[in-house]
Amino acid sequence: MVTVAILATATGLNFGNIIYGTQPSPHVPTLALKPSQIGENRKLVTASDRAGACRTPVTAASRCWWGAALTGAPNTAAGVPGFIVTIDGIPTTNTLAASPAVYCAKGATAAACTGLAVGTLVGPHLSGTLRVPRSISEGTHKVTALEPNTTPDPGNGPGNTVKASAILCADDLKTTNECDR
């Protein structure tokens, strides 16, 4: 990101990204669900990145949530809407959020920079919950999280969103079914 400012007062005037023609698109992010197998009293499932997918510092192999890396999502003040989450294509209520990326400059006060070296880039991480409808049938279900994409890079999901999916298994825990295989 480049910031234009008045040098005498250090007042910021504008900012923007520099995109290089040879810059590859970011890797597809990951989605992990906990628990990934739910019983008959199913309600909320916690969502996050898969372990190790978006390590600090960010590397070329990182699989962070990059669709709204400068602002995070949702971010009402920046006009960035929230995530859309579906279970087998049907929207469900969620509180998913992706944190903005943080660059740890000298004198950084961001909590994400605590204990990190100057120059460390902390990638956007996924957090939140999704509500599993009580009417969901037993068996495996595809959960898809769609993040709004505010970057110039093309998204991998519908409507230029950034998409990741995971499998959720609904099991009454009383009989053997697809979850046990």
Tell me the pTM.
Answer: 0.83
- What tens-digit pLDDT sequence spans the chain (181 residues)? 566 666 677 676 676 666 656 667 789 999 999 988 776 666 889 999 999 999 999 998 999 999 999 999 999 999 999 999 999 999 999 999 999 999 999 998 889 999 999 999 999 999 999 999 888 888 899 999 999 999 988 999 999 999 999 999 988 655 555 565 5
CB within 8 A of 105, min separation 6: which ones?
118, 119
Q: What is the pLDDT of residue 171?
A: 80
Which residue, among 91, 171, 172, has the nearest Cα to 139 in the 3D structure? 171
CA distances from 28 to 38, 53, 125, 162 (A): 26, 10, 13, 7
Q: How far is CA 100 from the centre of its chain?
A: 10
**Domain parsing of the chain, residue ranges:** 25-180
Q: What H or E segment, with its residue span, contains residue 140?
A: strand 139-147
